[in-house]
Structure 1
């Protein structure tokens, strides 16, 4: 007999539910049982082990101390027997009694809870005092107000005003690791003129690829350090220079040129395998330590110390870039060379001599800078070489304020300023 809609058949004690066929679906009115089928695993939390984790009580760190502190605050009168004495009594009674290991564990747990219930004041008093003294070599260097040149950039995080002095002091100390000497005597196939031609060509590469000046200076430094350790044949000198420029580009540039670009500027005189092999050779010879302090960074820092204009800084950069081709100046540290170039530019622009703020930030006195200034002045007085025109042509452009065409200061005026 058909059943009316919405009603379920009454099930008697002896009646059985009709079985559903494989293709027959349950209607929405049938509710699924929340209990698992027979033999199926029980539901469990994802982060609890399925073996005996339900027997383990999970306690968060610090919960016992917080609960003990709350209990201590609620107590109005102190107990007659101290907490430690009670713990000792329980401990002695548990040791004397013939209890099971489970009872001993329970007693130990109670003892830990009672010790955790100690007053907060006792815990604070028992804690050792914090050491707040800072070692002397980690203390912040105090800069006098008249020598503070970084506070004006306190809002510019890229200028690192809090650490600028420390950074350049570190770079100046690091220079001691990269001191060079005139290595041409160890190069049987090279001479200073060949090196100057190579540097002049690297200046053209830097200008054509529009690379940073830091890339050029770092490439020259790596070239000198490699030539100081490894004899190189003259036919491979251009390969060394182009490879150091490639390495410096990877170190300094955001988008360095690829290997094929350097093969192109070498007029395909070398193969790709040769420049890759030379790159590995140079890096291994320099022990992969290519973060060499360069004079260009010191020059910009010292120019900021005296608030030098862009034209004065560019003139000092011209002097510094001309010095790259002089093998006699290879042994001069970058910070000292930058100081001498800036001082010569200040004298040329009639902006004074070596000031106390420069002495404070550079660490050099006037007497330390004078010999290098004289060497630079002698270099610039020499007639220009027709083979070495890249630097002069570069700084004769309006972008560089045409500083290469400025008249050089006379020797008498220079000596008068240096003697002050």
Structure 2
């Protein structure tokens, strides 16, 4: 087994216990190493340095054009003569290279300036473009954002700043496919209260396993979409919720738990075969299309547009998570729900309203949100089911700024704040 390429002296390095150290014979390995491409010590796993893949072939004539016509043939001759040591070039390949070089030299564009256009309309357009006072007219109804919210994160590879806008436009289009109907009328053995208790249990599971919030939101969506198409009995409802978390954790988490862990949190009420069979049933029913847009992703995006601090974002997250248990909010689209939760949080913290930047990136105007905002404030204000404690208990902790203890707004006060 040859030594690593970056290793200059294999005999100096200490070997691991139980592993034989290869011997260097007559410097043969050193010669092979010298014939390889030089590796950059900063590159991962000794990979070669970055270079333009097609720079030596496709862009050759462009380089010669910049240097001048007279220097190009000399470069071609020099390039044909230069061959790196230890590299063999077949005669047929060398001949083809010379033919290609001659063809590329013949295709070098002329350095003469282009002729002036004769069309009067083209002349008119060129004159406008040269005039610094002239500006192109923007189409009517287009809202111009105040700032580019992705500009400051171009160096962050995890932010995907170059594609963030396109990603959320795609998600807005995609969520139209996943709008939920009123499916409880087709479920004779399941009630909205049973669903609320199940979601409350799913929130506890998310906390115990320390899953991301995306996993929780996606699991609830998977459960709802499955119940739209399949009539289920109440004794299988927890199995559906548990399996939905299993699938969502595989989709969202870096290291999802094993099947036995999910059987344990169900208090061994189901067998392993039942859980796996339910996983197959959910995936086949949804045609394996489980990348469902969720409100949590839109909420983080909109909070970034509003420059909301972590406490304001957590308050909006608390309001949004409360809606997971409420069947009355199931039919709301994810982006509309996220925008309304953020607007209510901004009003509760007295941080302003829906500005042009939020309108541009969310796609919602200020007058489209008040109806849902009032429903959300009603959810916060009036008494709730005492059996559903997971969300309020979770957001009463100091880690979440105890936002669940914050007093909701008066309905009349909210009415005036939304009009201002």
Q: What is the rounded CA distance, in whole Å, between the counterparts of 1:349 and 1:66 in structure 2? A: 69
CA contact (8 A) 2:340 2:369 kept: yes
Deviating runs (4+, > 2 A) in structure 1? 56-67, 142-145
Pairwise CA RMSD: 2.1
Contact residue 182 and residue 328 of structure 1 kept, 8 A: no
Contact 1:223–1:241 (CA under 8 A) maintained in structure 2 = yes
In 2: Cα distance, 1:144 partner to 1:175 partner: 24
1:266-317 Cα distance to aligned partner (Å, 9 max, x none): 1110000000000000000000000000000000010011110100000000
Give 2:192's aligned residue: 192
Distance 1:175 1:223 in 2: 16
2:176 match: 176
- Cα deviation code 1:137-189 (max 9, x no counterpart): xxxxx995623111111221211222211111111111011011121001010
1:120 aligned residue (106, 111, 114): 106
Alignment of 1:12-411 (within 5 A): 58-60=92-94, 62-65=96-99, 69=102, 120-121=106-107, 146-411=146-411
Identify if the C-alpha distance between structure 1 residues 153 and 59 changes in structure 2 by more than 3 Å, giving closer, same or farther.
closer
- Structure 1 unmatched runs, 5+: 1-55, 70-115, 126-141
Shift of 1:244: 0.2
Measured after TM superposition, the shift of residue 371 of structure 1 is 1.7
Q: Which deviates more from structure 2 when the two are superposed, residues 160-169 or residues 336-345? A: 160-169
246-255 or 161-170, which deviates more: 161-170
Residues 88-107 of structure 1: CA deviation (Å, up to 9, x unaligned): xxxxxxxxxxxxxxxxxxxx
In the alignment, the residues of structure 1 paired with residue 227 and residue 145 of structure 2 have an alpha-carbon distance, to the nearest angstrom, of 45
Query: Is the 8 Å Cα contact of residues 211 and 253 (structure 2) preserved in structure 1?
Result: yes
Normalising by structure 2, report the TM-score: 0.68
Deviation digits for residues 228-274 of structure 1, max 9, x if unmatched? 11001000000000000000000000111111111111111000000
1:207 positional shift: 0.4
Give the match for residue 97 of structure 1: none
Q: CA deviation at 1:63?
A: 2.8
The aligned counterpart of 1:28 is: none
Paired residue total: 300
Instruction: Report the secondary structure of 1:146's partner residue.
Output: coil
- After TM superposition, give the deviation of residue 419 of structure 1 in Å: 1.9
- Partner of 2:158, secondary structure, is helix
SS at match of 2:317: helix
* Helix, strand or coil at the partner of 1:149: coil
- Mark the structure with the bigger radius of gyration: 1
Judged with a 3 Å threshold, the aligned counterparts in structure 2 of structure 1 residues 64 and 347 are, in CA distance, closer, same or farther, namely same
Deviation at 1:412, TM superposition (A): 1.4
In 1, the alpha carbon distance for the partners of 2:373 and 2:355 equals 15
CA change 1:270–1:306 in 2 (3 A) is: same
**Residues 56-109 of structure 1, C-alpha deviations (whole Å, 9 max, x = no match):** 973447434257x4xxxxxxxxxxxxxxxxxxxxxxxxxxxxxxxxxxxxxxxx
- Go from structure 1 to structure 2 and tell me whether the alpha carbon gap of 1:143 and 1:381 turns closer, same or farther (over 3 Å shift): closer
Query: Is the contact made by 1:147 and 1:360 (CA closer than 8 Å) also made in structure 2?
Result: no
Question: Is the 1:206–1:216 contact (alpha carbons within 8 Å) kept by the matching residues of 2?
Answer: yes
Q: Provide closer, same or farther for how the CA distance between residues 354 and 268 of structure 1 changes in structure 2, counting only shifts above 3 A.
A: same
Most deviating of 315-324 and 168-177: 168-177
Change (3 A) 1:305 1:60: same
User: 2:144·2:360 contact (CA, 8 Å) conserved in 1?
Assistant: no
Provide the C-alpha distance between the structure 2 equivalents of 1:119 and 1:314, rounded to a whole number of angstroms.
64
What's the CA shift string for 1:329-375, capped at 9, x where partnerless?
11111011000000000000011111111100000011211221111
Runs of 5+ consecutive residues of structure 2 not aligned to the other structure: 1-89, 111-141
Distance 2:93 2:252 in 1: 53
